[in-house]
Amino acid sequence: MSDTLPRSVLISGAGIAGPTLAFWLSAAGFKPTIIEHAPALRSGGYVIDFWGLGYDIAERMGLENEINEAGYHIRELRVVNGDGERVAGFGTRVFSDLTGGRYVTLPRSELSKLSFAKIENRAETIFGNEITGLQDQPDHVQVQFKHGVERRFDLVIGADGLHSPVRRLAFGPQDRFEKRLGYTVAAFETQGYRPRDEDVYVMYGEPGRMVGRVALRDDRTLFLFVFAKDIGADDLPAQRAALRAEYGGGEWECPRILDALDGADELYFDRVSQIKMPRWSRGRIALVGDAAFCVSLMAGQGSALAMTAAYVLAGELAKAQGRHEEAFGNYERILRNYIVGKQKGAERFASAFAPRTRWGLIFRNQMLNLASIPGLARLAVGRDIVDKLKLPDYCWPASDPR
Ligand SMILES: Cc1cc2nc3c(=O)[nH]c(=O)nc-3n(C[C@H](O)[C@H](O)[C@H](O)COP(=O)(O)OP(=O)(O)OC[C@H]3O[C@@H](n4cnc5c(N)ncnc54)[C@H](O)[C@@H]3O)c2cc1C
């Protein structure tokens, strides 16, 4: 790469897209710096299903063994009634069959940690700080930070999630690009909960709300809540109160789960939204992952898409020898239609997560039961599981990226 072409790239966010982008940019000969506002990598959170293009990229980063060791192979999705009796569900072998066994469920924080470990010696990393100002100049971006002196970078990439501050600074307020899907999601982990039901995703639903549990290692259990209201609750006490209001009268294990929630220090809590932007870049600033095109948890593939986009963005910058306008244009051309298709699919699927009526619940459960018939299962999930995008191959001049 010529010395006059962009080399220094500031990446905001050390979630999934950020470390992946830093990894591939470093393999392409750029000098990435990652800035993360949290004081350390986040732990806990929620679990994700991971397969397809994301899995392929993780493999190319040399992470396949680690993600399988950190992950779980869930064998059944089981819907129960208020008394805990199975009323619907299916064996998840179809996912494994359709992906050639390359399907794993793992904590999002683990995927982030494993990707980050791959770049610690290849990128400058800054924790506990964040970008507060950006000026896009003809030959650089001038950047101000919450702490410390301002710096200049050749390019700045926002990989800072659904509520991306880089998007706000460079493109405008979030509500211009956010499509709220009308749901709230929450998740927390607890220790020593019983029962466990190893490798089964157990789910209980009432009209407009669901709660599920997954047994994790070290005697931990993860709970996931999705309910059909879009409520704002900024702090832990308000979020706990919102969950009590929604699930307080619930059957099944709701009372015990709410008791466990009282002892949890960390709770993931957010509205369910998508991000739809007319462009993913402006000048020397671009967005990647949820910051650019959040598909929402309803797509079940946001991490894989974040990794795919990070890989393509780095690859296109490498291919264009750092000519950022050309690279940003190609990055978007390769991915936009594919991502739009995933967003549409997620919107269609949203009502299946927490159907708003009793009839809706019954219908959803019948559909889940149909998925237990092998041929039908392949038909039902095949379209969404098998990726239609072919991952481009790029040349990584900084030798073996692993
Ligand atoms: C409940 C739930 C279930 C999901 N299930 C799945 C699933 O099954 N499969 C799947 O593939 N995906 C799933 N997803 C989606 C997936 O988690 C996201 O799409 C993915 O994490 C996006 O990665 P990202 O790097 O773009 O953003 P994030 O992972 O959100 O990372 C953003 C990073 O930016 C940091 N940040 C925020 N503000 C600043 C700032 N001011 N300065 C610096 N850094 C900042 C954050 O701390 C974070 O580290 C799910 C999401 C949810 C909520």
Q: What average pLDDT does the segment 39-52 reach?
A: 91
Q: What's the CA gap between 391 and 20, in Å, rounded?
A: 15
pLDDT value for 344: 93
CA-160 nearest atom, ligand 1:
34
| 13 CA distance to ligand 1 middle (Å) | 9
pLDDT value for 3: 52
Tell me the per-residue pLDDT of 323-375, one tens digit each, with 9 for 90 and over: 999 999 999 999 999 999 999 999 888 878 788 999 999 998 888 888 777 66
Is the model's pLDDT at 5 over the cut of 70?
A: no
pLDDT value for 77: 93
Give the percent of the chain with pLDDT over 70: 94
Whether omega before 39 lies within 30 degrees of 0, making that bond cis, reads: no
Residue 182 tokens, joined? 């009308």
Q: Highest mean pLDDT range out of 25-29, 347-351, 377-381?
A: 25-29
pLDDT value for 19: 98
pLDDT value for 4: 55
Widest pairwise Cα distance in the chain: 68
pLDDT value for 377: 63
Q: Is the CB of 49 under 6 A from ligand 1?
A: yes
Q: What's the CA gap between 72 and 134, in Å, rounded?
A: 41
pLDDT value for 60: 96
In eight-state DSSP terms, residue 72 is B
pLDDT value for 387: 76
User: Could you count the other beta carbons within 10 Å of the beta carbon of residue 371?
Assistant: 20
Q: Can you tell me whether residue 83 is helix, strand or coil?
A: coil
Q: Minimum mean pLDDT among 67-76, 116-125, 201-210, 380-389: which range? A: 380-389
Is the model's pLDDT at 127 over the cut of 90?
A: yes
pLDDT value for 401: 53
pLDDT value for 376: 65
Is the model's pLDDT at 224 over the cut of 80?
A: yes
Q: What average pLDDT does the segment 167-177 reach?
A: 98
pLDDT value for 90: 87
Q: What's the CA gap between 68 and 60, in Å, rounded?
A: 14
CA-18 nearest atom, ligand 1:
25
| 249 CA distance to ligand 1 middle (Å) | 31
Q: What is the mean pLDDT of the chain?
A: 93
Tell me the per-residue pLDDT of 284-307, one tens digit each, with 9 for 90 and over: 999 999 999 999 998 889 999 999
CB contact at 8 A, 202 and 75 = no
Q: Is the CB of 302 under 6 A from ligand 1?
A: yes
Q: What average pLDDT does the segment 24-44 reach?
A: 94
Is the model's pLDDT at 378 over the cut of 80?
A: no
Q: Minimum mean pLDDT among 83-92, 200-209, 251-260, 366-375: which range? A: 366-375
Of 10, 11, 16, the residue with max ligand 1 atoms within 8 A of its CB, to mutate for a pocket test, comes to 16
Residue 297 tokens, joined? 């948890």
Tell me the per-residue pLDDT of 237-284, one tens digit each, with 9 for 90 and over: 999 999 999 999 999 999 999 999 999 989 999 999 999 999 999 999
Q: What's the CA gap between 274 and 155, in Å, rounded?
A: 25
